[in-house]
Amino acid sequence: MLGPAQEFQSALFYEFNLEDHVPSNHLLRSVDRFVDLFGIRAFLAPFYSDIGRPSIDPELMIRMLLIGYIMGIRSERRLCDEVHVNLAYRWFCRLDLNDPVPDQSTFSKNRHGRFRESDLFRHLFEIVVDRCIKEGVVGGDIFATDASIIRADANKQNSTPKEEWDTTSLNPEDAPRAVKEYLDTLDDAAFGAASVVQPKFTSHSDPASQWTGAMKGPAFFAYANNYLIDTDNAIIVDVEASRAIRQAEVGATRKMIQRTRSKFGLYPEILAADTAYGTAENLNWLVHEEGILPYIPVFDKSKRKDGTFSSSDFAFNHQANEYTCPAGKPLKKSWRKMKTPRSGVTKEGFIRYYARKMDCEPCPLKPQCTPRDTTRKITRHIYEGARDLARELSQTDAYMDAQRRRKKVEMLFAHLKRIMKLDRLRLRGPNGAKDEFHLAATAQNLRKLAKLIPQPA
């Protein structure tokens, strides 16, 4: 039987409880168990004036921002509209049906003011990591690190080639916020000081972003989002924004390892990473200064492609401090006895080892070893010991396991871009990138907690 047509009839009184209308298996209901903003008001109190109009509740703004990142709503205007009409979002924000939703302009005012002054998003991220540790989902033994390139809100049309870029012509007094931040970070190891090499183009709207062609397609302006994760459950234990170049990314990882130790007392035994982190200096830092085993492929350009012997075909004898070539002859730092022995270390940190003419000239292996030169020489980095350890580790089963675990960072980045839709930044400047990366990492950890610890039935 056809029922009567539905007609809109507003009731005079409603008996309505939001709690009853949010499904028990809703993602936000699961996440809500781990959002502990109890101390946020006290944390922010020094940044509010004692007089004037009462502010919007900061906890409400944080909850709204978390919804944006958890549910992949990138626009703050849309976020406000969605919170207005979505019952689950209202419930998560502690808003009743009649409560007004803050205007989107409130977010930018607070972001550029007290939220940044107080480093609120960092504080929020640490609260959630602390909760992950207390819930027992962080093992703390095997960490992995990687960086992902995220497009900046900048384009080529509004940029200057490096020959024409002159920082002295910028006036910090009347420069836009992103330009002021760029000037402030010129000496920062994660940004301006990461490399003396100037990028090919510099954006006018966001000069700290890096012009990069690392994604193999057309180049663009970008920042690097660096994650340090605990590989047991892919919990992000630290996050850092940096320039999208290798040196800055390696520097960011060092900073994160030290900060995780001082903040949370986490001392990983193993770090898994890709070749970008396998430089001699970095491996040495991990092994000798931090006591961490590097399950990292060695960054090695010494492999010869013309079929002649590579340096890996020569065996190094630590005690004698010399190499032995495939023909069994020694290669030494120096064949002459010197009154004052020289270190023989080049500016780049390499030591050269030479074979003797009397060994090489009659050698039947010479065409395979050094067809053009009279004698063969091998260069060895002063931190080659750490590289050798990394090479040895790469032959173990534990290395295969660590590299499998490392894939979890890549999966987090894929999730970040595809599900949370953070493939292009909305905010400009190093602080904009920092804010977005911290909120995204916080949201990813909350989602992970919700998944790992199911709601009691």
Residues at the site binding ligand SF4, with contacts judged by CB under 6 A:
325-327, 329, 355, 359-360, 363, 365-366, 369-370, 376
Least distance between ligand SF4 and beta carbon 324 (Å): 9
How far apart CA 436 and CA 448 sit, in angstroms, is: 18
Least distance between ligand SF4 and beta carbon 334 (Å): 16
Nearer to ligand SF4, 229 or 325 (CB): 325
Nearer to ligand SF4, 376 or 406 (CB): 376
Nearer to ligand SF4, 295 or 353 (CB): 353
**Which two three-digit tokens encode residue 227?**
């994650």
Least distance between ligand SF4 and beta carbon 331 (Å): 6
Nearer to ligand SF4, 22 or 355 (CB): 355
**Which two three-digit tokens encode residue 379?**
């260069």
Q: Three-state SS across 404-457?
A: HHHHHHHHHHHHHHHCCCCCECCCCHHHHHHHHHHHHHHHHHHHHHHHHCCCCC
Least distance between ligand SF4 and beta carbon 337 (Å): 22
Least distance between ligand SF4 and beta carbon 318 (Å): 19
Least distance between ligand SF4 and beta carbon 255 (Å): 43
Least distance between ligand SF4 and beta carbon 304 (Å): 13
Least distance between ligand SF4 and beta carbon 378 (Å): 9
- From the CB of residue 268, how many other CB atoms can be counted at a distance below 10 Å? 24
**Which two three-digit tokens encode residue 95?**
């808003």
**Which two three-digit tokens encode residue 34?**
């781990």
Contact 308, 369 (CB under 8 A): yes
Nearer to ligand SF4, 139 or 326 (CB): 326
Least distance between ligand SF4 and beta carbon 326 (Å): 5
Of 400, 402, 392, residue with least CA distance to 268 = 402
Nearer to ligand SF4, 130 or 322 (CB): 322
**Which two three-digit tokens encode residue 47?**
């940044």
Contact 149, 243 (CB under 8 A): no
Nearer to ligand SF4, 179 or 369 (CB): 369
SS3 239: strand
How far apart CA 276 and CA 144 sit, in angstroms, is: 13
Q: Please, which contacts does 170-179 make with residues 24 or more away whose CB atoms are closer than 8 Å?
A: 176/205, 177/112, 177/428, 177/429, 178/205, 178/206, 178/207, 178/208, 178/428, 178/429, 178/432, 179/204, 179/207
445 torsion bin: left (phi>0), alpha (psi -120 to 50), beta (else): alpha
Least distance between ligand SF4 and beta carbon 345 (Å): 22
Please identify which residue in the block is written with the tokens 């499904």.
Answer: 23
Least distance between ligand SF4 and beta carbon 355 (Å): 4
How far apart CA 146 and CA 383 sit, in angstroms, is: 23
Nearer to ligand SF4, 50 or 306 (CB): 306
Nearer to ligand SF4, 106 or 324 (CB): 324
How far apart CA 226 and CA 240 sit, in angstroms, is: 5
The residues with which 203 forms a beta bridge, in sequence order, are 159
Backbone angles phi, psi at 232, to 5 degrees: -60, -50
Amino acid at 48: Y
Nearer to ligand SF4, 358 or 414 (CB): 358
Nearer to ligand SF4, 100 or 328 (CB): 328
Please identify which residue in the block is written with the tokens 């982190």.
Answer: 277
